[in-house]
Chain A
């Protein structure tokens, strides 16, 4: 193991960077959402306060829970998100791949859902069980389209699998500039909306219906880490899309401004979708992804194979 991996993992673009940016973007989300609802919204550093305050709260473990699993689930999910962020970020900022390629990233991301289900359902709470069932159904709904979306840049780059290789293949033309790229990119945004369980796909959590589902029995530090990993996804997923389709970031001169704009554009689109749609039922979500999003992504893949 080379020492710079530790830097990638712990400082930039891993834990410290992604965590901080996630908390900041979470605040942006709360502010913008508040504006949509004609509220003022919380102060800018509210997410930081929430996180550190939760660390000081007591952890309630239900008597029926499998305590070890219940406690380790959020930390495993958190470690996975940090790891994936570091892998994506390193490819993007340093042009170096370590640990794994696109397929590895895709499978690592599934671990998050697994942990949500194991951690939530081991409490024996009925709402958590319902939420766990929905979580995995939602994964099935978006995964098919997500696989297709990930295959488009692989095909377009001439079957390169590594993250930095896909980035390098966009030197002579961004994938988003092609017909297949833009379709896949749009479907990709919908997929990550579902992967992050944001409205209209917040079906597993559904606060008003099943009281945060799998997270219902969580409190204190474990809850803090669930929240943090969820906020870090605001960084991980948009970065993944930018890397695969939008040529990453060029951090020199005006490039920095352009990079921030790219990122904010995706985030704002997601926030807008989140605030203008009601929560759908799980069968509606399945129908939407399997009958509309997937064929669309398949068209993108066909176009990519044909070279468009």
Chain B
């Protein structure tokens, strides 16, 4: 069947991007909005309105060119596609007003291009088109980074494109290697199935994995992400590293472990270990950041760890939890970026040290940020908890059947992940405290609430956080994730634990209402000044909160690590840069400009040449 339906998801935004190059800003916005809404409506139609059977079975549209199947969909691509459209619409609503004026024109042209590239990746069933769209989405990342207006933006853009481009090359090599290993049969991605047994298949696995890790932000290829979050426009930080890149990277990871490769238990262990390391290292770095966007960037890395842990564990509950966490993360992380963006647009800064006490000025933004912060920290009843809970019990199930040594290893990974969520909570308490709580600096007295389009967007995300937390099984799992898993040939998860969010919330609300009734009956309110033992509440006594974790930073044993991290000793990119520079200096020394030396080199070269021959 040659239906053009799925081609729309690539063609429409691509055409919009092209046309937008020549339009005035207002029309660009309008066109973007119309096309995004159209695509979102098409997806809603597929899932909820027509529920057309062959659409949901996933064989409704394959685009074939020259006998090669280029695009096709199955359940997993279908739901990833859906979430790309949801996030695109919400982030677009947010960006309707308030994008930095001088970057506005390029922004509205890049935005649809990004959507087209991401949709293309998800829909591709041909290795070459997959790689092309994958590279294109990396390139839009680079262009978005160039739109940033900080001093470091150009350097960040270069760093981003080098990591992305480098891993793209690895991806191409990996796919080519798989093609060779499979007897050069087909370039169709759905036909790939390489058992990871010998050296070459291991190599192919890690080559492809590195692309997924770089895109999603997994350790050790995550280092572009915090820099990008700080230097790019906040809308693009919410769009790419916080949501779409997560969807793409984890989508690829899920493909790798389910269909592209058949992996062994050792690889599961390696993936889980990498996941746990990602969680803990990134969150330890996040805790001590003074820049709000960088802090969120490190958390965007740390959350990937949970997805890798879940998807890598090979257990169906954890796998479903990993996919669910991917969706949840895109929701609350873009919410957090956008609320921070609102604060930034109103106050002109994203340095935590300069903010404080804004909950009274921007109450709506505060509530949305609070929901996001509680979700990411995994506080019930929000969505982050449900997916973490699934991942934990899946990992425990994996440990249950392992030998004692492996059991302990898996348990340590699990402990790091659970502790990582306590650290996340700590980090976000600092974040909320520094921006919204504590004493407000005098100069922020007159800050106003942000414009309606911004809080509508963040509000929509906050509502999704709650719905996906309360009706987790009924909505996201049953409609999106279980069919995808069934389609990939995995067994459906059976929970070993017990969690009834709606019941808990209902009981909670009963007690809360009881407490409030007692309060209302007995209350006798008097407003008064802050009491500081007779001292005036001066500005110089203000506690920002950025220094909350200095005791941890300066702890013996950790201080050295943090100092080294500040000097970028663990940044693969910085280390690579330094070592290649050192290597080139070595070569420079061999070229002092002495003719005799060059003649000597030639002679030695000829001798070596002769001996080897």
Contact = CB atoms under 8 A, between A and B. Distances in A.
Interface of A: 1, 5-6, 9-10, 15, 55-64, 66, 69, 71-72, 74-76, 78-80, 82-83, 86, 97-104, 106-108, 110-111, 113-114, 117-118, 121-127, 129-130, 132-133, 136-137, 139-140, 143-144, 147-148, 151, 154-155, 158-162, 211, 216-217, 220-222, 225, 282-283, 286-287, 290, 301-302, 305-306
A290 B548 CA distance: 17
B542 interface: yes
Contact of A86 (B374, B440, B507, B532): B507
B292 to A, nearest CB: 17
Given A59-B526, A78-B511, A83-B508, A114 B400 contact: no
25 contacts: A9-B510, A15-B511, A55-B518, A58-B524, A61-B528, A66-B359, A66-B363, A75-B515, A75-B519, A103-B497, A110-B377, A114-B425, A118-B437, A122-B359, A127-B532, A129-B439, A133-B430, A133-B433, A133-B545, A136-B430, A159-B496, A161-B497, A161-B498, A220-B523, A305-B408
A215 to B, nearest CB: 12
B304 to A, nearest CB: 20
A64 to B, nearest CB: 6
B451 to A, nearest CB: 22
A99 B380 CA distance: 11
A97 to B, nearest CB: 6
The 8 closest A-B pairs by CB, nearest first: A129-B543, A75-B515, A79-B511, A121-B437, A161-B497, A101-B497, A133-B548, A143-B422
B439 A64 contact: yes
B243 interface: no
Contacts of B374: 114
A83 B439 contact: no
Interface in B371-418: 374, 377-380, 385, 389, 392-393, 396-397, 399-400, 404, 407-408, 411, 414-415, 418
B98 interface: no
A140 B552 contact: yes
A130 B429 CA distance: 13
Contacts of A222: 519
B507 A5 contact: yes
Nearest to B524: A58
Interface residues of B, number: 82
B252 to A, nearest CB: 29
A166 to B, nearest CB: 12
Given A78-B511, A117-B437, A143-B422, 9 more contacts: A10-B510, A57-B524, A59-B524, A62-B528, A66-B363, A107-B385, A124-B440, A132-B433, A148-B415
B499 A79 contact: no
B102 interface: no
Contacts of B519: 71, 75, 221-222, 225
Interface in B404-457: 404, 407-408, 411, 414-415, 418-419, 421-423, 425-426, 429-430, 432-433, 437-440
Nearest to A6: B510
B113 to A, nearest CB: 41
B525 interface: yes
B590 interface: no
Nearest to A81: B511
B503 A158 contact: no
Given A99-B500, A143-B422, A9 B533 contact: no
Given A155-B411, A159-B399, A97 B498 contact: yes
B348 interface: no
B429 A111 contact: no
B600 interface: no
Secondary structure of the B contact surface, majority rule: helix
A113 B396 CA distance: 27
Contact of A283 (B399, B506, B515, B551): B551
Interface of B: 357, 359-360, 363, 366, 370, 374, 377-380, 385, 389, 392-393, 396-397, 399-400, 404, 407-408, 411, 414-415, 418-419, 421-423, 425-426, 429-430, 432-433, 437-440, 496-500, 503-504, 506-512, 514-516, 518-519, 522-533, 537, 541-543, 545, 547-549, 551-552, 555
B416 to A, nearest CB: 9
Nearest to A125: B530
A161 B363 contact: no
B469 to A, nearest CB: 12
Contact of A139 (B422, B507, B523): B422
Contacts of A217: 530-531
A182 B54 CA distance: 59
Given A154-B396, A301-B411, A103 B527 contact: no
Nearest to A283: B551
Contacts of B545: 121, 129, 132-133
A101 B396 CA distance: 14
Contact of A121 (B438, B503, B518): B438
Contact of A64 (B407, B530, B552): B530
B359 A283 contact: no
Contacts of B543: 126, 129-130, 133
B307 to A, nearest CB: 18
Contacts of A74: 515
A130 B399 CA distance: 41
B531 A216 contact: yes
Contacts of A60: 525-528
A108 B5 CA distance: 46
B178 to A, nearest CB: 36
Contacts of B528: 60-63
A117 B374 CA distance: 13
Nearest to A87: B504
A59 B503 contact: no
A80 B508 contact: yes
B551 A79 contact: no
Contact of B498 (A100, A216, A305): A100
Given A69-B359, A100-B504, A104-B380, A129 B512 contact: no
Given A5-B507, A104-B389, A137 B527 contact: no
Nearest to B556: A287
Given A59-B525, A104-B389, A222-B519, A286 B399 contact: no
A286 B558 CA distance: 12
Contacts of A162: 497-498
Contacts of A125: 439, 530-532, 537
A124 to B, nearest CB: 4
B524 A220 contact: yes
Contact of B529 (A63, A72, A160, A283): A63
A143 B181 CA distance: 48
B426 A98 contact: no
A286 B555 contact: yes
Contacts of A133: 430, 433, 543, 545, 547-548
Contact of B508 (A57, A79, A104, A161): A79
A282 B415 CA distance: 23
Nearest to A99: B504
Contacts of B523: 59, 220-221
Nearest to B393: A161
B282 to A, nearest CB: 16
A124 B537 contact: yes
B537 A79 contact: no
A124 B533 contact: no
Q: Which of A106, A126, A158, A283 has the most CB of B within 10 A?
A: A126
Contact of A211 (B379, B433, B499, B533): B533
A211 to B, nearest CB: 7
